[in-house]
Amino acid sequence: MTGDSWRERRRALLRDDPAAAETAARLLDELGTEDRDDEDIEAEHRASRLSAAREYAPDARLDEELQLHLTGPDTEDGALRFQWGDALLEPVEHAVSVAARTPVQLELTGISAGSTVVHARPVTPAVPSEPYALDAPATSAASTGMSALTELLAALESERDIREWARLFDAVETLSRALSKYELDLGVTWYGADGGIRRARLTERGRRYVERLSKTRDRDQPITISGRITELRESGWVKVKTGTAKNAPAYDVRFEEPEELLRMRPGLGDNVHFRVRFRQRLDSVGITRSTEYTYLGPAAEQTSLPLEP
């Protein structure tokens, strides 16, 4: 049924009464036609159902559900292969947890056809009901996480700026790689306890955008590291701790030529002053993918400002 079907029915009932039909047509034209998609209509139905239930039980909530719709060359029979489950389900749970900023556990409740549709729900511990908290909003950590996650997936599909969700990017990149490995597209639908519905997709277009954003560039900066040696290896690697406090920063300094380190004859506990090249590998989102400290030469005996390892 379309959103404006009730208007059409009203016009049909008044066709034999020209005056009434004209009045009704004018009123209906003033109201305008509804142009709503199925998601909006379904969300309104769920919200109405919840409102009716709360007439009798003010603390009523709808069941939360997560649906993962997998489409690809091998999904026609509606089955979930074990290797897909191993590769996809844990990354989805992890992404929701990162988005929610707290651990969220999900459990599988069923699989249905329509390509392959995985049904899941958040694991909620049994908590005694509190009669004086009937007006509390029907929200959960899973709902908070799914809100952020679907926004990020939508941004990736439309190739928009995603820096707002940078902290989620690593988790979604893992999921994207798993989908690419098995040539799968992912549709996500979240049914919230408040009646709301959120949908998003991660298709080949979004996954290619993830790949582009993951490409790194090097940013080099010369710095001085002063401190004492706490570890060293003949392979050309030494750890320098910059202070005596237990939580003082420590840096792993690599020698491109291990013989140079051997010629220095360093010992554990020795104080050193190194000029090093601090290299960050940054992706297009601005996330530091790796850091590296490479020895350049001796430095004057001065302590540099602490730098995050």
Check residue 245 and give its pLDDT: 85
Check residue 264 and give its pLDDT: 85
Same domain as 112, residue 235: no
Question: What's the CA gap between 301 and 20, in Å, rounded?
Answer: 95
pLDDT in tens, 50-91: 667 666 777 667 789 999 999 998 888 888 999 999 999 999
30 vs 275 pLDDT, higher one = 275
Same domain as 100, residue 194: yes
Return mean pLDDT, the chain: 82
Same domain as 237, residue 189: no
Question: What's the CA gap between 273 and 264, in Å, rounded?
Answer: 12
What's the pTM value of the predicted model, to 2 decimals? 0.67
pLDDT in tens, 128-147: 555 544 444 447 899 999 99
Does residue 309 form part of some domain?
no
Q: List Cβ neighbours of 40 (8 Å cut-off, separation of 6 or more).
A: none
Look up the domain containing 281 and give its range: 217-298
Does residue 95 form part of some domain?
yes
pLDDT in tens, 26-47: 665 665 555 555 556 666 666 6
Q: List Cβ neighbours of 3 (8 Å cut-off, separation of 6 or more).
A: 33, 34, 35, 36, 41
